[in-house]
Structure 1
Amino acid sequence: MTSHWCDFQNTDVILNCGSNSVENHPVSALWLEKAHEQGAKWIVVDPRYTRTAEQADIWCPIRSGTDIAFYGGMYNYIIENLIEPGLAKYLADGDMSEYNFEYLLNYTNASYILDPEYEFDPATGLFSGWNEKTKTYNVHSWHYETESTEDWDTSETGAYSWVTKPGTPEFTTPTLTNPKKDMTLQDPMCVYQQFKKHYSRYTLDTVSGICGMDKDVLELVYKTYTSTAKPGKAGTVLYALGQTQHTYGAQNTRAMCIMQLLLGNIGVPGGGVNALRGEPNVQGATDMGMMVNEHPAYLKWANTTDRSSLRKWLESQTYSDGYYTNKPKFIVSSLKEWFGENATVENDYGYDWWPKVPSETGAVDYTHISTFELMQQGVIKGYFNWGMNPCHSAPNAGNVRRSMANLDWLVVADQVITESASFWKAPDMNPADIDTTVYYLPCALIYEKPGIILNSGRWIQYRYQACEPWDQAKPDYEMCDLIWTAICDLYRKEGGANPDPILKTKWDYYVDGKMDPRPVAWALNGYRVAGTDCNCDSKNPKTDLLTGYAELGADGSTACAMWIYSGMWSNNKAPLDPAEQPLCRRSTEDKSGIGLNSEWAFSWPSNRRILYNRNSCDMQGKPWNADKKLMEWTGEKWDLVDQADFVAAKDGKPVPPNNKTFFMLWEQKARLESYGMVDGPLPEHFEPFESPCDDNPLNGAFQNPCAFGVNYASTKQGTKEQYPIVGTTYSVTEHWQTGGQTRLCPSLVESMPSQFVEMSEELAAEKGIKNGDEVRVFNNRGSVVVPALVTKRFAPMIVNGKMQHQVGLTHHFGWADLYGTGDVVNDLTPNVGDPNSFTPEYKAFLVDIEKA
């Protein structure tokens, strides 16, 4: 989330697309309603007429899985109606009355010249660099042409003198390649011209046909939202799982970023690309690297190819310019926290002790979906199932249950006996055929333990313990410590293969001999190693906590597990008192006047409330909207209302305004076209894995050629002839996730006693179904029986000239012994996913229905 919830009040136009704020994130809706009351327009693009749509000015229904077509049409609308009519006038006299050309030209890569081999072929749906054999792209041709190069100055007085400091690992420093540019945007190979050419196919007629939208309503949406392209205006886009859970979910997110860049909505009050998290610590889990390939703080784990040694990691991951030139400081500091005094420059700070993620073509894949395939193959024989319920929540959940039956042992850590903890009790399982030993570890609820959480807006807060854990339940970190201690004891007593990664890991997060989250907070914040006693076993430990990530070094002098969190726990006078740390600030006084609330909690990074905030000003450093100022150049220095997300000062001297406004990228410009995605440099519309259509009007690929998991036999892909109805899943306010906690609350089960399939009146009449009837929803993967909810909130669509029905299913019930039970709806969803994030495609699949 580039902004935060309180900032929604500053917007001029709200766009909910792939999210349902009023029902699923009701607190966020308070700020949307405040903006609405102040005159903001509210747009909802959703397959259903949701309670959020009820609040909005415009509701535009969309066929599930066609978001990129919708965004591509908006790009084309912006180009045809705003950029092309005004570009010549802007270049001649600087006119920006209707469109912020200064933002486009100076803060994005629109003017950069692409490699001459760059191309896209609509006939095949493929970009240049495609390898048909491996089904992957070589992204070389997606880069820029080079104008000149610059080497790092590592001399004693140079900007990168730290590279030669004793203790810094040796690596070949990167060379900055300065791209060729055309500031008139006329060169046929500049990003803008290739972008314009690419999306010229996305006409109103084509997009409305693909998405099943009314053309006039679609045009009204485009006209309303693109009004934010004027300097001083802002539009916010709010998304959730409706965007991400597709075989092109990461490109959906990219598509929103591009839209906001074209409109100048990134880095401004009331703007941003804002993910609404459905649980109070989803952001924290993301930051911590809860994916196979992601190291905490958005770095990369060691692998078996370009990151197989520390030197290779440094050479492949360190940017040639921008703030990520400091990645060596981040990774070495992380290694120092990981291995403590055992990490030295002579042993590459213990880098070789880290496990290596397999990365060669054809290597074993340990991502979530593939984990269950490996269980079926007998590769994975034991499984820790911690804080999740895949027998209920994973796609193709029936396949998950059958896979778990091949395990030797399964450990489930959760607050209740979930479907995963009792998978052999599923209606389709025979316990006599299952030899898996299942261990259940009851863990404490969020109220029964202290610790740190992060909300959607990246605000880090400390949550105090309200009561003791019930019965035998323990906090997660205590369970981790018990297991860790036992493993180490076994290695010391019995030996074992490769002991160093275990026995040389630093594990000293204790206070008075008990595992405690406060010393963990020191590790996340970072501290100086020299002269520090970090045994963490006394009431008044000596610490040297860092005030921010700018103090990190690559020479082993600092330890820091999460560079982005640095500064959240920095008060050395009270290292064991959360109330005295920045993350526990609770001042309700808002000095900004625009709801930044900078003295409430701590927002990573560096207590910054709005990311990329340099973009809130023009090239001279004057705010686009003086009434909502984040910062301003006075002529001598920066007057900062929010923490600067750019280099505002260097060596103690103010840095005058420049166009380096996205300093986390080496170009320091935002990317309309990017070589950072595995499935294409621009978002391109593809159909879902299971599509109701005969073809794709925009390209010949039909489906994402890089989609993940499509060749697994277990996916059992269905066809439109077998299953003609589009299905999607969503949540209700009364229940949470797989229902393990909420179905233990009788009042919640009474208010929402079952899940349901929601359908249009027209589809119900066609199938002979009445409201409340028991309905069977089925496809190749599964069959569930749920009550029918017949409403006007779904309506048939005309998709490419043909009538198309959609249905929606809620997914909170299962067989576990709680107050409310039911079939597992995720038996229907396909176990395929996005090739960048591996997120499953829950939001668009095919089913058929009949009266049960």
Structure 2
Amino acid sequence: MMSQFLAKEGVKNLHKPGEKLVTTHCCYCGMQCGMHIRVNEKTNKVVGVEPRYDWPVTNGKMCPKGVTAYQTVDHKDRILKPLIKKNGEFVESTWEEALDLIEENFKRIQRESGKDALSVFGGVSMTNEKCYLVGKYARVGLGTRFIDYNGRFCMSSAAGGFLKTLGIDRGSTVPWPELEHTDCFFIAGSNTAECHPTSIQWLWRAKDKGAKLIVADPRETPTARVADVHLDLKPGTDSALANGMLHILIKEGYVDHEYVAKRCNNFEELKANVEKFTPEYTSEITGVSIDKIIKAGHIYGMSPRSVVMFARGVEQQTKGVDNVSLYTSMALLRGQIGKFASGVATFTGQGNGQGGREHGQKADLLPGYRKLTDPAAVEYVSKVWGIDPSEMPKPGVSAYEMFDEMLNGTIRGMHVICSNPAVSAPNLEHVWKGFRSLDFLVVSDFFLSETAQFADVVLPATTWAEDEGTTTNLEGRVIHIRKVTEPLGESQPDWKIIGMIADRMGRGKYFPYKEASEIFDEFRLATKGGKADYYGITWERIDKENGVFWPCPSEDHPGTPTMFQESFGTPDGKANLAVIGWKDAGEIPTKEFPLFLTTGRVVFHYLTGNQTRRVDFLMQQCPEPYAEMHPALASKYGLADGDMVKLTTPRSHMTIKTRITKAIRKDTVFVPYHWGEELAVNQLTSDCLDPTSRMPEFKVCSLRMEKA
């Protein structure tokens, strides 16, 4: 009743006298939940948060992280002034002193070793305006080819799979509110109920109308627990499972042949390829029972409206692009993409995981999802930026591979912006050595992250509530992030920091912005005509229309809530069905390392935990990582719940507590990854990379276990 009252009456009763409400969105995952921030009118301090009931994606729902997100804005750990490391310790400095030091070292490094001796490591928990500017900063401000970003650890395999099959990478082909009309959800590699909990309402609404749920996951997560079929596959076997599903769709007559003939390539090749992926053969590879595979195939095949959804469990593998391509092909065989309440969707992990990967932070991309290897794209963007095309640097390398370049001496300096790869990257000993090898490291952040600990200079950035701009949520809907309060201390928005450094490097004329809106105007123009075309989107339209879906090529264009209704983004307008066989993961269990290790999230923390580990309530709920394992596995090693266990992989080892549960395979151990230093599970994870996306294989590596 209360939620109905608030939805009807608006928000006039949600705040106390002396407070104002600022309408915005959460800073965490790709759901970008709508919220109102409560601000004390006298002090201009953020004092609370209220849900936003007029936001159609989440309808007033918020998760524990979102409810407490405001507490990071005025947190005691905020960096208030620039920090310079002297004799191994950080001391506060003035902006002038910090910028002098950056200018001196950046210029020295490039003078001695060339432009590419500097590098930029970006992130996608920033606005589109900032993400766009990070790419321009690397290529125009510093003139380096070495730029990549933390989305390489998050969304790059989804991007690669969508580009191969559909020709355009947009995380969802269907707007979220339509999902309540879906008849079947096939969710692979996503613990949706914990990792994107405010999206689960659409599943419940659909289930109330009779919808079915199929979940593919090595763990019986809260999502899998309510599934009609739980496909409890071995880690790293998604491509075999997807091929098995394709086999059933074809053999049982569930293919929409008219759709496939008109709109898809490679059907006969796919048909021949999946012939051997019988339920029996698929079961042998995946460990999923034959009955479950057959049941899942029939449920999905008979559903008039279905959505295939996936997340990092599918993508963070050496076969991540293959997995996404094959799961997407399931939706294509059923003729579901481009139709109401149907299609494919990926659960975006970071707040701007969609927009942040479209506009120039990737090593080989320019704004609008243009390729840096395309001369016409280089010429167009160079014109927007006011540089000669000959000045545009060539493509660099992926995020993890930049650490190789550090260790071989090619990269000598780096600027890390809104990212924490000292926790988020795989094989962390290698990453830490890379940071230690640098001549000079600058980090922009609002908390002293594990990565910032390696820095020579740390620059105080603002939180999401202290600046304005846009982000793109997991649907592809561009939304408005509003400034709530003034920057704390001497912190500055990332776009201003970039401008100050570019000016010191003699490139200030290319970064003349006084307001974030000026960046947005240039950003729109830079995307014009690209696959990710934002040109027709304005802040005014976003506010009026509750967000605008890209592509939106002109201001009179309605935007594109449902993708691919008429054609796909490929040269011939047809989707490419995936013809992909089966191969093992980059690292599989051996006699010495006989178990699977896989990693993931918990509902109370976000990414590396640099923000959420500072919120008391969230830390009380989940204060430390744990090794989740089946009772049978624990018994084999003489372990009880809460015992300390030593986990060892071919790279390193760590010791943490056990958590015993029947909700996981007997050959698999799960560890959440939100902690750093000796509690960082990425000390153990594999640095095998997907050959297309260059995504590390976080979800599969071999493990040895012993009681500590």
* TM bucket normalised to smaller: 0.7 to 0.9
- Where does residue 278 of structure 1 map in the other structure? 349
**2:549 alignment partner AA:** S
**1:686 alignment partner AA:** K
1:604 matched to 2:675: no
The answer as to whether partners of 1:252 and 1:683 remain within 8 angstroms in 2 is: no
**2:478 alignment partner AA:** I
**1:482 alignment partner AA:** M
The answer as to whether partners of 2:367 and 2:381 remain within 8 angstroms in 1 is: no
SS at match of 2:452: coil
What pairs with 1:35-74 in structure 2 (closer than 5 Å)?
Answer: 35-74=206-245
1:806 matched to 2:668: yes
User: CA offsets per residue over residues 323-365 of structure 1, 9 Å max, x none?
Assistant: xxxxxxx6654333211xxx6xxxxxx21121122xxxxxxx6
How much does 1:292 deviate?
0.6
The answer as to whether partners of 1:525 and 1:562 remain within 8 angstroms in 2 is: no
How much does 1:683 deviate?
2.3
How much does 1:563 deviate?
5.9
- Where does residue 698 of structure 1 map in the other structure? none
Counterpart of 1:351 (choices 389, 401, 405) is 389
User: CA offsets per residue over residues 204-245 of structure 1, 9 Å max, x none?
Assistant: 1111111011111111111111113xxxx1110111111111
- More off after superposition, 602-611 vs 54-63: 54-63
C-alpha separation in 1, matches of 2:685 and 2:429: 10
The answer as to whether partners of 1:453 and 1:462 remain within 8 angstroms in 2 is: yes
Counterpart of 1:217 (choices 292, 302, 312) is 292
Structure 1: state its 5+ residue gaps: 83-97, 110-190, 308-312, 315-329, 344-349, 358-364, 424-436, 489-501, 511-515, 528-547, 553-560, 570-577, 586-598, 615-660, 674-681, 693-719, 797-804, 816-821
Counterpart of 1:373 (choices 380, 386, 404) is 404
User: CA offsets per residue over residues 453-482 of structure 1, 9 Å max, x none?
Assistant: 110011111111111222222111011111
SS at match of 2:660: strand
1:668 matched to 2:557: no
C-alpha separation in 1, matches of 2:399 and 2:284: 35
- Where does residue 448 of structure 1 map in the other structure? 466
- Where does residue 644 of structure 1 map in the other structure? none
C-alpha separation in 1, matches of 2:192 and 2:532: 31
- Where does residue 565 of structure 2 map in the other structure? 613
C-alpha separation in 1, matches of 2:522 and 2:542: 15
C-alpha separation in 2, matches of 1:684 and 1:447: 47
What pairs with 1:588-603 in structure 2 (closer than 5 Å)?
Answer: 599-603=545-549
- More off after superposition, 760-769 vs 8-17: 8-17
The answer as to whether partners of 2:686 and 2:700 remain within 8 angstroms in 1 is: no
SS at match of 1:374: helix
> How high is the sequence identity, in percent, across the aligned residues?
29
- Where does residue 427 of structure 2 map in the other structure? 396
C-alpha separation in 2, matches of 1:378 and 1:672: 42
The answer as to whether partners of 2:217 and 2:233 remain within 8 angstroms in 1 is: yes
C-alpha separation in 2, matches of 1:384 and 1:451: 22
**1:831 alignment partner AA:** D
The answer as to whether partners of 1:762 and 1:795 remain within 8 angstroms in 2 is: no
- Where does residue 294 of structure 1 map in the other structure? 365
1:791 matched to 2:657: no
SS at match of 2:317: coil
User: CA offsets per residue over residues 530-589 of structure 1, 9 Å max, x none?
Assistant: xxxxxxxxxxxxxxxxxx95xx6xxxxxxxx996101112xxxxxxxx4xx11222xxxx
1:461 matched to 2:479: yes
**2:402 alignment partner AA:** T
- Where does residue 583 of structure 2 map in the other structure? 686
Counterpart of 1:237 (choices 285, 308, 315) is 308
What pairs with 1:533-682 in structure 2 (closer than 5 Å)?
Answer: 564-569=533-538, 578=539, 581-585=540-544, 599-606=545-552, 607-614=559-566, 661-662=567-568, 664-673=569-578, 682=579
How much does 1:827 deviate?
0.4
Q: Residues 392 and 36 of structure 1: is their aligned pair in 2 closer, same or farther, counting only changes over 3 Å?
A: same
C-alpha separation in 2, matches of 1:795 and 1:507: 53
C-alpha separation in 2, matches of 1:562 and 1:665: 10
User: CA offsets per residue over residues 80-108 of structure 1, 9 Å max, x none?
Assistant: 111xxxxxxxxxxxxxxx65221111111
The answer as to whether partners of 2:649 and 2:701 remain within 8 angstroms in 1 is: no
How much does 1:5 deviate?
2.0
C-alpha separation in 2, matches of 1:356 and 1:332: 13
- Where does residue 522 of structure 2 map in the other structure? 523
Tell me which protein shows more helix as a share of its residues.
2
Structure 1 ranges of 4+ moved more than 4 A: 330-333
The answer as to whether partners of 2:365 and 2:372 remain within 8 angstroms in 1 is: yes
SS at match of 2:423: helix
- Where does residue 258 of structure 1 map in the other structure? 329
- More off after superposition, 723-732 vs 268-277: 268-277
C-alpha separation in 2, matches of 1:332 and 1:7: 40
SS at match of 2:533: helix
How much does 1:729 deviate?
0.3
Counterpart of 1:774 (choices 629, 635, 644) is 644
**1:520 alignment partner AA:** I
Corresponding pairs, count: 531
C-alpha separation in 2, matches of 1:562 and 1:451: 21
C-alpha separation in 1, matches of 2:202 and 2:682: 33
Counterpart of 1:415 (choices 436, 442, 446) is 446
1:14 matched to 2:185: yes
- Where does residue 640 of structure 1 map in the other structure? none
User: CA offsets per residue over residues 509-531 of structure 1, 9 Å max, x none?
Assistant: 22xxxxx110111112239xxxx
The answer as to whether partners of 2:382 and 2:392 remain within 8 angstroms in 1 is: no
What pairs with 1:169-180 in structure 2 (closer than 5 Å)?
Answer: none
User: CA offsets per residue over residues 184-204 of structure 1, 9 Å max, x none?
Assistant: xxxxxxx33322221111111
User: CA offsets per residue over residues 430-457 of structure 1, 9 Å max, x none?
Assistant: xxxxxxx621112111111111111001
- Where does residue 763 of structure 1 map in the other structure? 633
**1:484 alignment partner AA:** A
User: CA offsets per residue over residues 38-62 of structure 1, 9 Å max, x none?
Assistant: 1110111110000111232221201
TM-score (normalizing by structure 1)? 0.61
User: CA offsets per residue over residues 285-313 of structure 1, 9 Å max, x none?
Assistant: 111232111222221114xxxx5xxxxx2
Find the structure with the greater CA-based Rg: 1
The higher-RCO structure (CA 8 Å, 6+ apart) is 2
User: CA offsets per residue over residues 797-837 of structure 1, 9 Å max, x none?
Assistant: xxxxxxxx11111011124xxxxxx5111000111211111
User: CA offsets per residue over residues 745-771 of structure 1, 9 Å max, x none?
Assistant: 111111111111100000000000000
1:102 matched to 2:120: no
The answer as to whether partners of 2:189 and 2:216 remain within 8 angstroms in 1 is: yes
Structure 2: state its 5+ residue gaps: 1-171, 553-558
- Where does residue 336 of structure 1 map in the other structure? 383
1:841 matched to 2:697: yes
The answer as to whether partners of 2:413 and 2:438 remain within 8 angstroms in 1 is: yes
The answer as to whether partners of 2:624 and 2:675 remain within 8 angstroms in 1 is: yes
The answer as to whether partners of 2:649 and 2:684 remain within 8 angstroms in 1 is: yes
How much does 1:778 deviate?
0.8
Q: Residues 48 and 333 of structure 1: is their aligned pair in 2 closer, same or farther, counting only changes over 3 Å?
A: same
- Where does residue 8 of structure 2 map in the other structure? none
The answer as to whether partners of 1:778 and 1:828 remain within 8 angstroms in 2 is: yes
- Where does residue 126 of structure 1 map in the other structure? none
